[in-house]
Structure 1
Amino acid sequence: MVEIPNKQFYTILPNKKFPINLLGYTSRKSLVVNENIITDEVVNILIKDNEIEFIIIVNDKDEIIGCIQSKNLLNLISSKFGHHLYGNKPINRVYSKIPKEFLIIDGNKPIRSIVSKIFKTKVNITITLDGKIYGATNPEIIYSALLKIIEEDSKETGRLQNMIINKSIYPSNIIEYRFFSNPSLNAGGDFIFIKDINEEEAIVVISDVSGKGTSASIITSMLSIFFKNISSENKLTNDRIKEHIINLNNTIIEFFEYEKYITMTLCLVNKNQKTISVYNMGHQQTYIFNKDEITQKKSLNLPIGIAPLTKDTIKQEDILIKEDSKIFLFTDGAVEVKNNEGAEYGEKRIEAILSSYDDIDKIYSYLKEDLISFSEEEYQLDDISFVIFKLKN
């Protein structure tokens, strides 16, 4: 039994105190009426106040016996002979002509707790709290609220991931660099790490976790911790890097049981020797270029998380860097992004930009703007990231 005023009808405004994750948040303006009120009276109220979305019907014992949407009653009355047949009858008689499946649920219940109960139904729901009616709702409104909750969760995940990424890219005394990262959703699976590990060496990492959104962002958080630990070592030999890659591979396999994998390029840059050791684990090719030539270094290894690895199976390329050489790393989203005609951006377009400018600021700015303008009218299906760097003079 619920508490109602001693009169035939009254309206209820949505209560603002409910947080978004509770059912009460979805309540809409409702009209509570006694079952014996004449239908024409109810219709007149609805015509005067078109913000009333639901009608909650109670009996003489103050028990809720039904809940209908206002538009369904108005549709019935406005149908052929509808007013003649039902206008002068009590609302409880008319209610029997309208689908009347309904629930009474406490407004403090989490929205997620009732989703399975209302799935694929057209049930109307009266919301109560401490014996009082707080309005009504339906599955459509609840699903909209649930999507809003998911979107807010996704935005918060994206915000936290941006904090992680921004704290994974450090100032460097060894390389000059620019980077760009744009997830297709609020959070994504692309990851960048840049840090000096001693006075002559720096590591640059770009990776792409399979999948998108929150599930991929969980693994990028793991990568941030992983590479922070690596960078705390004062010296990284080739054997030591391979040991770290094997440990990461074993962890991903153990945790995700071959359901997730990571493509990754790790570059160990030595400014004194003017060399770069490239460990490409199933990732996009690495471009080493200047105004006169572009060289591609393709992957020699499996992605992380695909199969067990050993030091013998991990291959690296040690490359001598020319004075004016620059290195470009990117994820597949940069070449696979499409325009509104379905054409991919492609490697040739990237190569044309890399060979057109000598200054990394110009390359960065032009490529970023070109990628965005190329796909601005089309939904971005994948995360887009790239890093361009060179040795400091």
Structure 2
Amino acid sequence: MHVVSKETFQKIDARRVHGSSVARVGSQYNYVKTDDSVEDVADSFIRHPEVLAVGVVDSNMRLVGVVQRSDLFHRLGKPYGRDILGRKPITDVAENNPTFYYESNVFNVAEKVSALNSERQRIRFFGLVDDKDGFVGLFSSMDILSYLASLTQQDISLAGMLQERMQHHDDILKGENCSCIAISKYAKGMGGDFHFLLRMPDGRILMALCDVSGKGAAASIITGMLWGMMKVYDYSRGLVQLVKDVNRAVIEAFRLEKYLTGIFAIYNEKTRELVLADMGHGHLCVGRNGKVREVSIAQSNLPVGIELDIEPQLSRLRLKPGDTLAIVTDGLIEQQNIEGQEQNIETWLAGMQEGDLLEYCNDLIQRFNEYRRGVVQLDDVSVMLLRAEA
């Protein structure tokens, strides 16, 4: 005759969560009593497939152990496991896992869980208790990892939104005798490329296009710092001093752990002369008479953030009416297609002298997406164009 086992699972309500308490990651709220049998608890697990673990509590609702579904069935699945363990009290197989006060800071708990779980690669459940060791719930190492991952994703999204507000996807500046545009396409939600266009008080145009080493949050912090610095900078101090001050700021903030390559330039649209500091970048082209040629910079410098005391060397370039100057980051020319091939800079920038600059940039990004179809974007892509009107 089949004997119906008793229902052993009981459930408490989740506590109200305040701030960053670890109770926020609680996921299991079922418990069993110390005198429940292993067999009855196993049958309750079968009836409730959504329950992954239960707390074991005494008559005063104090947590004395944890039973995980996977562990219990692993033990019962061994030869004669159910016969040997079935009628024993559940406390015989419960694990004495670490417990945490339910209002503890989730980040402090995460550090402790990380240290505890490094010894065991499987998912592990931990107890949540009140100030009297009363059962509040359970959370797993996966629960806390998922929570931290969601926070990280939120931070990335927020950083990307702030970066977008500071540095628009496209930046356009029009003068009497020239047009400038800068555009970026980040590989992820936030990037390490930085572009900046500004009409200076004396009428000249400041241009900067930089590529920060590495990606992610640290790189976006540098681009935010650059944006803030260049928004309020006193440009009467000159281009050399600007680069020196940016270099010092990057070194003081990141202690040689981050650097950036870039071109900082000032363009005089009356004389069509471009004065520039090439800080280890070098991806500069001029479109003239229907042809694109890469410009070799005579004075190249170390990247920004490598050495504290620098004396940037400047180069000069004079454009002709109708010329289009392009500065690009290496994400464009190093992108591979599905066959593992790359395109040179002259091929990418073909036709940049023709038509509207914004339309050309949008077309360039479309061509880039088509070229890499089926392949992940490897790096941020930024393009800055300056056209000396005929």
Give secondary structure in 2 for the equivalent of 1:102.
coil
Q: 1:81 to 1:379 in 2, by over 3 A?
A: farther
What residue is the counterpart of 1:125 in the other structure? 126
Contact preservation (8 Å) 1:188, 1:383: yes
Report the alpha carbon displacement of residue 309 of structure 1 after superposing the two structures with TM. 5.3
**Residue 168 (structure 1) shift:** 10
Task: Write the mapping of 1:1-393 to structure 2, written as runs, cut at 5 A.
Answer: 9-12=9-12, 17=17, 21-95=20-94, 100-119=95-114, 120-122=118-120, 123-129=124-130, 132-166=134-168, 169=171, 171-174=173-176, 175-198=178-201, 200-230=203-233, 233=235, 240-299=238-297, 300-308=300-308, 313-319=312-318, 321-352=319-350, 354=352, 357-391=354-388
Q: Give a deviation string over 1:44-85, Cα, whole Å, max 9, x none.
A: 322222111211112234331111222322333344433222
Aligned partners of 1:291 and 1:358 also within 8 Å: no
Change (3 A) 1:80 1:378: farther
* Cα separation, 1, equivalents of 2:329 and 2:270: 29
Do the aligned partners of residues 134 and 291 (structure 1) sit closer, same or farther apart at CA in structure 2, a change above 3 Å counting?
farther
SS in 2 for 1:264: strand
Report deviation, 1:150: 1.7
Amino acid at match of 2:334: E
Tell me by how many angstroms 1:189 deviates.
Answer: 1.6
Q: Would the aligned equivalents of 1:30 and 1:135 in 2 still touch at CA under 8 Å? A: yes
Does the 8 Å contact 1:172/1:196 carry over to 2? no
The separation in 1 between residues aligned to 2:361 and 2:172, in whole angstroms, is 18
Distance 1:199 1:253, change over 3 A: closer
Please say which of residues 268-277 and 172-181 is displaced more in the overlay: 172-181
Whole-Å separation in 2 of the counterparts to 1:104 and 1:208 = 47
Change (3 A) 1:370 1:18: farther
- Aligned partners of 2:360, 2:72: CA distance in 1, in Å? 64
Q: CA RMSD in A?
A: 2.9
> What SS does structure 2 have at the residue aligned with 1:114?
helix
Amino acid at match of 2:215: K
* Structure-2 residue corresponding to 1:4: none
Q: What is the TM-score normalised by the length of structure 1?
A: 0.84
- Identify unmatched segments of 5+ residues in structure 1: 1-6
Counterpart Cα distance in 1 of 2:62 and 2:184: 58
Alpha-carbon offset, residue 121 of structure 1:
4.1
CA distance in 2, matches of 1:318, 1:349: 22
Preserved CA contact (<8 Å) 2:173 2:181: no
Contact 1:201–1:270 (Cα < 8 Å) also in 2: yes
Query: In structure 2, how many angstroms separate the alpha carbons of the residues matched to 1:53 and 1:162?
Result: 42
Amino acid across the alignment from 1:27: G
* 8 Å contact from structure 1 (residues 326, 388) kept in 2: yes
The aligned amino acid for 2:374 is E
What is the Cα deviation at residue 167 of structure 1?
10
**How far has the Cα of 1:124 moved from its partner?**
2.5
Q: CA deviation at 1:136?
A: 0.8
Task: Measure the CA separation in 2 of the matches of 1:180 and 1:102.
Answer: 54
TM-score using structure 2 length: 0.84
Identity across the alignment (%): 21
- Choose 215-224 or 372-381, whichever is displaced more: 372-381
What amino acid is aligned across from residue 56 of structure 2 in structure 1? I
Q: Structure 2 vs 1, CA of residues 50 and 378 (structure 1 numbering), >3 Å: closer, same or farther?
A: same
1:328-385 residue CA offsets vs partner (Å, 9 max, x unmatched): 1111112122334433344353144647x55434431221012223334333332221
| Aligned equivalent of 1:3 | none
Instruction: Please give the alpha-carbon distance, in whole angstroms, between the structure 2 residues aligned to 1:352 and 1:170.
Output: 21
Mapped partners of 1:148, 1:199: distance in 2: 48
Change (3 A) 1:282 1:359: same
Q: CA deviation at 1:291?
A: 4.9
Tell me how far 1:13 sits from its aligned partner.
Answer: 5.7
| Alpha-carbon spacing, 1:177–1:81, altered in 2? closer, same or farther (3 Å) | farther
Of 167-176 and 289-298, deviating more is 167-176
- Give aligned pairs, total: 374
Distance (Å, rounded) in 2 between the aligned partners of 1:139 and 1:382? 33
Select between 175-184 and 277-286 the one with higher mean Cα deviation.
175-184
**Aligned-pair distance for 1:37?**
0.7
Closer/same/farther in 2, CA of residues 130 and 392 from structure 1, 3 Å limit: farther
Distance 2:339 2:8 in 1: 61
Residue range with higher mean Cα deviation, 109-118 or 345-354: 345-354
Q: Which residue of 1 aligns with 2:3?
A: none
Deviation at 1:126, TM superposition (A): 1.0
CA distance in 2, matches of 1:380, 1:63: 53
For 1:262, the aligned partner's letter is: L
> What's 2:4 paired with?
none
